[in-house]
Structures are given as structure tokens and as C-alpha cells.
Structure 1
Amino acid sequence: MTPPCPPTPPGVLFWFRNDLRLHDQAALHAAVRQARQVGGWLLPVFVHDPAQQAVTPWGFARSGRHRRAWLAAALGDLSAQLRALGSELFACHGDPVSVLASLTRVLGRPLLVCEEIAAPEEQAVVHALRAAGVSVHELWQSTLLDPASLPFAPEQVPDTFTAFRQVVERAGVKAPAPLPAPRGLPPLPAAIMLDAARSVAAGQAPAADAGAGDPGDARSSFPYTLPAFHGGERAALAHLQRYCERRLPHSYKATRNCLSGTDYSSKWSPWLATGALSPRQAWAAIEDFAAEHGANDGTYWLWFELLWRDHFRWLHRKHGVRLYRAGGLSRQPPPPHDPAAFARWCEGRTGHAFIDAGMRELAATGYLSNRLRQNVASYLIHDLGCDWRAGAAWFESQLLDYDVYSNQGNWLYLAGRGTDPRASRRFNPDKQARDYDADGAWRRLWGCE
């Protein structure tokens, strides 16, 4: 009697989420180890979720043309790097739960490995996958600091940033060294399995990217249509190297509140947002820079800003869906809203030149300085009397560097509905214009003076 054929070797499905890189990829390293331990394959997957293109309750697309183009660039670079390692980025389109559950079925129920994202929608997808019988292994990897190194459980993080920073710094917590990119990957599934997987993904192709081929705006402070500001990991690492070679970390604190130009700030945030750049890789470069050229207020302030980014992530681990209520963490009633005033704000037609210039820059380029982000958000909430959630949604749609944690945290902060001990953070736009655009050059650049 002929013995039965052995089962097809198991493998691992690796789901790229907001970690579109190969360097410092703890989740990918774990997937590679698991695949090799079982002598199996590894299939990298990205799912284009049509919900990201849906129309928001405020009447506009959830992801605008700049964000779509930026994501496409990051994915293109990642795909090329995977091909160079003999692998492939398997791009699917559809509801992630349905797509990934179907893929695991046709591939023999492999383990699904991915990064952990502590935001409600992203958590709901993982819960639904597990309910559908998919084995999911999540790894936390988006913060500068390792959760295990904190002097408190992440869910017990101090609510205010200053208290958090002081506790971390007193405890001497250091960022781990970034992991190297893998030199090789396990093989793809056998051809017959890969064909079955392709049949799952063949139902609907991603819509054409409206941002593709955009010539860009020469006034942009982050000209992402130029090769040096390409959305991929390789451009991110090259930018980081140039930033340090030009000794710009030393001037960061002095120039970070400028309004225009490519050098006044680190410009890491768009790459950090898609995960094309790891915060640990960025900080390791600054530590190397400081060891060679010396530390100063500028290098410290880069650490300070990365800690802010971490704090918003720990707050999500602590407060979760409460951060998405109309009242946020407060007991305030739902905020008022004026749809007509909101529309004028989005279009840069409020009548206040400083605010309008900022909103026109955002719409034209997908980028805005941190100083202007605070000003335009404050103006919407405190001067126009609009719902902070509408502003958060507009930023999500427009910003290249949209980050679910930081976007939600910053809007709550300015609305006085987060963890800030002050009731509100209202900016005086007239004073801000005098302080940061005294000669009106930036307003004139955007046709508002």
C-alpha cells in the first residue's frame, strides 16, 4: 500500500500594516524565524482596504490624493526590495478580514504575523480575524521605547506628557538598537498554492491612484514628488543620512517653528507615518551624530519629539476607544459644529490670512508645519466653533504624515478633551502671525497677503 503523501509544509503569512520597511522590523524577523522553524514558506501581504477611500460623515474622502500617492510610493519601494530578496509583496484589495481569512483558508491555515496597532479600528480587524478562526500573532514595534523597559505598565502611563517624560528620563530608559534588515527571506509558497492565493485577490483591483503623476507644488516644504522625498524606505534612510551629514540636528530646536522650507525640521514624520522609517533607526542616527559632533538642545529636542510620539501611543493602550468619543476623556457635552464655517476653513477662505495660507498649503501639498497645524486646529475649534472631530478627519484625509495616534491625541489636546491639564489650548493667530511671519512672506507665498 502506498503511504499517503505528507502534508504541504506549513508557512507564515506576513501582513504589512503601518510598517512598510525591512529595517528594524521585529514582526518580520519573528515571521521569518517561524517560517524557517517549520521549514515552510513566507508570503508578505498588503491589503488595500476600500474603507480607507470611503466618504467620511463630514462629506469628503477619508484618504486624499496626497496620502494615496505617498502610500503608493512606499509600497512600490517595499515591493522592489522584497523582489531583490527573491520574494514578492502580495497586494490584495478588499475588506482585510475577508481577504486575510480567505487567504489563510486556501493556504492551509498558516500563522498570520503582523505588527500590533492599538487603535480601535485596527484592533477590531484583528479581533474579527481571530473570531473567523485565523491564528494571529501581533508584535508591538512602532514606539521608540520598548514597553518592557518602561518603569510602569504601558496601560498605566502618566496622562500628561511632562510627567511621562520625567519618569522615563529619571529611570534612564534607553531606546533599543534598531534591528538590521533581513538578508534573505524564506521562499514563497509553492506555485499551486500561490495560484490559489491569487484567485482570492483577483476579485477587485485597487482603484487607480489619483495622486500618481502629480507634478507637485514648488512651494512645498515636503516636495514628495522629488526623488529625495520619495515615499519609500530607501529614500527615508538616505534622507536621515543627509540630515546628519549636514549637521542639521544641531539647529533643530532653533528652527523647528519655521513655516516654510525643507530644512527647518527633521521631516521624518511622513516616513514614520507609513513605517518606512523606524523611530529607533532615526534615533540611532542622532546618537551616532551626537557621539561624533556633540549633543545640544537640538539633538535633545528630537528625543523630546519622539517621546511625544510614544506618549500618544501609550495613551491609546491606556484609554482606547474613549479617545474617540465626542467628549474625549472629558465630561464635556458634544462640541458644536458649523458646516459652512468648516467648509470655508477646509478651502482656506476664513478671511484670516494666516489661517487661510496654512489651509491652502495643506490642500496643495499634503504637508504643513507643526506651528501652523496647531494654529489652524485651534482656529477651527475656538474661533469658528466647529467640531474637533471634523478637523481631525480633514487632517486624516490631507496629511502625508497622518498617524492615527498623534492625530487623535493632538486634536484632543487642542480641544481640551484629552489629558492636557489646561482646559484648552487656544492660539492667538494675530500674535502667531507677528511672531512667525512678521514680514508676511509666507502668507504672500500662498496668496493670502
Structure 2
Amino acid sequence: MISNASSQSELIHSNPSSQSMVYRVPGFDPDEIDYIAGQTFRRYTLSPTSNVRRTGNGTCIVWFRNDLRVLDNQALFKAWVSSDSVLPVYCVDPRLFGATYYFGLPKTGALRAQFLVECLADLRKNLQKYGLDLLIRHGKPEEVLPSLAESFGAHTIYAHNETCSEELRIEARLLKALQKLSLPSTPVMFARILQSVESKCMVRSCIKTPASLGPPPKVEDWGSIPSLDQFELQHQKASRPRLSICRGRKCIVEQSARVLLEEGGPRRLEHKWSQDPKLFESWREGKTGYPLIDANMKELSATGFMSNRGRQIVCSFLVRDMGIDWRMGAEWFETCLLDYDPCSNYGNWTYGAGVGNDPREDRYFSIPKQAQVYDPDGEYVAYWLPELRRLPKDKQHFPGFSYLKPVVPLKYGNPTKQGGQSTAAPSRKHSKFASGHGKPHRG
């Protein structure tokens, strides 16, 4: 049996020196943050005198997926209540380290792989505090979990819900594999009482963690946290994956009246997105000739992070100004982002490209305007583009011949003149790019 459990502080920066930038949470010092974290931990932990008691027996498996935490973990809590032995499992799925569907980019870049390794180490440490451990197995969940369920006689596998296509296909394969096993019948579980109560409430309260989650079943080898060598990422530069354009899906549609009647209407048409590898590489590596774009892309490659405003700006530039297939940008974000989530990533890219369920085909971010509003003193671009630091502040966003030549002209925006020369490429009156629909592979 498999059971699915339902499942910011603002960053500001100080004036950077030439070597470093300090990010702080506004209004809090480090000691106060630690104190608040400790108070939160105590609020989310059950006291020894709590009325909640374990009512089940046998072994339950908790399948950790994207929820690599102990606090407020509904799957872990339900497994503890409905058993007398909990086996936490994480499957290192090789498919997560393969290539993206359309353009063959790495699904998980080196920075995100390192972040995963650190998260697994932290999860194991936190589970050990509660008398458990983390069983790590390399392989596909639909193969690993049924084998573990059979070996340990587990009657239930708990996991949090996922909503995207790849994850749902894995769940379907897992359910099919479990149906072939002869497992112990499910005992009467406290989860049934929870379900009747939770069905009346749209938002659940936070789950409190028991003082001890043990004991775990006897395991000879809990497995080691994978290294980057095992991911075969040690020699790969995060910003330079090979681009397999031949894998891109192209569709040529005859523009005729028959399409309107027989093929779903104009919303079904797929426009000819550009998949120019050189243009895409200039965007990916932060060499477009526009400092605000280049600074954001270099931050992404160096840290695995980009602000929400930056994500919107670079998306708009790639799609509107460069005319590049939005799926190439979405897959590159999947490669790099530490906080990658398929729903938010692909949802935001379809929205930015004007092809989602709530399309805005005129959504455009003017690079000069965004630079003047969000980085008026040029501190951000000067930090990530050291070659601009020697320029006056009013020229750091508009360096003219002191910087790379823009790879494409801007679709909109009146370039400001500095020193008698244009600060941006000439704007074109009409863009050759017409936003249209590409089919996202994810969710």
C-alpha cells in the first residue's frame, strides 16, 4: 500500500567592496535568528506528555522526495503513528541526473547536485537526533521501494504528493509494482481518523515531531550519501553543457482555413521558435552585451540563485528580444537553480513567454527601465561584472563601446545617449518574433 500525504525573508545587500557582498535578513541579527529558529523547533516538537500515541504496528516506509526535512513532515508523522518501526528511504534516481527532454541540457547541474548532497546529510543528521537514520539507495524508486517493502515486510509506504508528469509516472509504476507483492494487510490506522478530520479543513495545522521516531528496523548498511564523483559531474562546468539542438522538436504547420476548423484553431498552432545555439549560449553565459542580463546570468551560474525580478527580466529578454524558444531557458533554469521546482519554473516560463493558461503575449520588460528602477547606482552589475567597476555609475548599465557589443537589438526601449553614443543597440520598430505555443514537457 502506498499513501500520499498532502503536503522569505527578503534578501538585501550592503554596498559591496571589490571582493565581497554581504547579504542580511533585514531587522535581525544572527543571534536573534538562531533564537527564533530554536523557539520554532520547540513549538513543532511533541512533548513527552503529549496525548498523541502510536497506535499501529509493523513497519512503514517513508519515501523522501523533495521534502527533505523532519519538522512539519506529514508523511513521517503518519508513518510513525501507524507503525512500531519506521524506515526512512531516499532513492538516488539516475534519471534526475540525465538530460532534459528537448535540448539535452543536464537536468541537475553541479551546484544543485552539491545542494542535494548537503540536504541529504542534514536530513540524516536530523533523523538520527530522533532515533532513526536515512536509508540511501541508488536506483529507480519503482524498483527499489517494492524490494525494500518485501524485505522488511512493510505494510505501507508514505510519501508526499507530487503534481508533475514525470513524478506521477513514477508513482504509477510504483503502484503497479507494489500490486504484484504479497504484503501484510494494513492494520487499523490512526490515519483514517486524520483523514475524516482533514477532509473538513482545507489547510492543515503544522505537524509536530515526536520526541523520538525510533526504533528503525535492523539494517546492515544504511548506504552512503552520494558524492559528485558518483553523479559524474566532477569535470563538467556548470555553465557549459553541450547543447543538442538535434533533439529539439520542430513543427511546421500549414497556415490555412482548414486548421481553424479541423485542428483546434489558432491556439493550437506552434510558431517557429528560434533555437540558435550561439544566441542561446550568449544568454546562458552572460555575454549578451546588456549588463543587467549578463549580471543575472552570471549570478545564476555562480550561485544557483537569481531574484524573482531577475528571472522575469532574463526570461523576457530571451523570449521577446532574442526570439529564442522559451523551453531552452526553462531547461537551463532546471539545470542551475537550487530552488528548482517544476511547477513554478515551467509555470513562470510559460507565463513569461505568453503561452500558458493565463497568457499575456505583450508581457515585456524594458532593460533600460528595469536597470534604472532596480539598480540605479549600478551596484549589482558592478559586483558581477568587474570590468564595469572602472566606469562612472551612470554608465555601468549603458557602457557603450566599453563593453561587449549587444548580440541583438532591443525590441522596445529608447536607449539613453552617453557621451554622444547610443548606450544600447538600436531598437527595431517591428519584431520578427511572434509569441506562440510550445509544448512543455514538465507538469
Q: Deviations over 1:46-76 (max 9, x none)?
A: 1111111113342432111221122222211
Cα distance in 2 for residues equivalent to 1:88 and 1:131: 28
- Structure 2 residue aligned with 1:352: 290
Match of residue 209 from structure 2? 181
**What secondary structure sits across from 1:111 in the alignment?**
strand
**Conserved 8 A contact 2:61-2:154:** no
1:33 aligns with 2:54: no
Does residue 331 (structure 1) correspond to residue 268 (structure 2)? The answer is: yes
Matched with 2:322 is 384
Please name the residue that 1:340 is paired with. Answer: 278
Match of residue 247 from structure 2: none
CA contact (8 A) 1:378 1:414 kept: yes
1:114 maps to which residue?
159
Number of equivalent positions: 285
C-alpha deviations, 1:345-369, integer Å up to 9, x for none? Answer: 1101111111111101110111111
Select the residue among 112, 129, 135 that pairs with 1:84.
129
Q: Is the 1:69–1:210 Cα contact (8 Å) retained in structure 2? A: no
Aligned to 1:208: 229
Structure 1 residues 206 and 123: alpha-carbon distance in aligned structure 2, compared to 1, 3 A threshold: farther
- Contact kept in structure 1, 2:117 and 2:226, CA below 8 Å: no
Shift of the 212–384 alpha-carbon distance from structure 1 to 2, 3 Å rule, reads closer
1:91 to 1:330, Cα distance in 2 relative to 1, 3 A = farther
Q: For residues 119-154 of structure 1, what are the alpha-carbon distances to aligned partners after superposition, in whole Å with 9 as ceiling and x for unaligned?
A: 1111111100111125999x9xxxxxx88645xxxx
Letter in 2 for 1:411: W
Contact between 2:282 and 2:288, CA under 8 Å: does it hold in 1? Answer: yes
> Offset at 1:422?
2.4
| From 74, 91, 98, the counterpart of 2:143 | 98
Identity of aligned residues (%): 38
Q: SS of the residue aligned with 2:287? A: coil
- After superposition, the C-alpha distances for 1:195-225 in whole angstroms (9 at most, x for unaligned) are 4xx59x79x9665378999xxxxxxxxxxxx
RMSD: 3.1
* Residue 50 in structure 1 maps to residue 82 in structure 2: no
Q: Is the 8 A contact 1:361 1:446 kept in 2?
A: yes
Q: Partner of 1:167 in structure 2? A: none
Aligned counterparts, 1:23-422, within 5 A: 23-35=71-83, 40-56=84-100, 57-133=102-178, 149=201, 175-189=203-217, 191=218, 194-195=219-220, 198=221, 207-208=228-229, 331-333=268-270, 336=273, 337-422=275-360
For residues 359 and 346 of structure 2, the distance between their equivalents in structure 1, rounded to whole angstroms, comes to: 17
Q: Distance in 2 between matches of 1:147 and 1:426?
A: 42
Q: Tell me the SS of whatever aligns to 1:110.
A: strand
Distance 1:41 1:330 in 2: 53
- Aligned 8 A contact 2:117 2:227 in 1: no
More displaced 10-residue stretch of structure 1: 416-425 or 429-438: 416-425
Shift of 1:407: 0.6
Q: Retained in 2: the 8 A contact 1:68–1:211?
A: no
1:149 and 1:425 map into 2 onto residues whose CA distance is 37
Query: 1:389 Cα deviation (Å)?
Result: 1.1
CA distance in 2, matches of 1:378, 1:207: 33
1:97 and 1:129 in contact (8 A); partners too: yes
> Aligned partners of 2:381 and 2:336: how far apart in 1?
20
Distance 1:334 1:26, change over 3 A: farther
Q: Distance in 1 between matches of 2:267 and 2:114?
A: 36
User: Any unmatched runs of 5+ in structure 2?
Assistant: 1-56, 192-197, 235-263, 389-395, 397-443
Judge conservation of contact 2:62–2:89 (CA < 8 Å) in 1.
Answer: yes
CA distance in 2, matches of 1:110, 1:335: 52
Q: 1:107 to 1:210 in 2, by over 3 A?
A: closer
1:22 paired with 2:70, answer: yes
Greater helix share, structure number? 1
Helix, strand or coil for the counterpart of 1:423?
coil
Is residue 65–residue 211 contact of structure 1 (8 Å, CA) maintained in 2? no
Aligned 8 A contact 2:351 2:359 in 1: no
2:130·2:214 contact (CA, 8 Å) conserved in 1? no
Q: Residue deviations 1:69-102, cap 9 Å, x none?
A: 2222221111111111111000111112111122
- Find the residue that maps to 1:113 and give its secondary structure: strand
Distance 2:286 2:162 in 1: 33
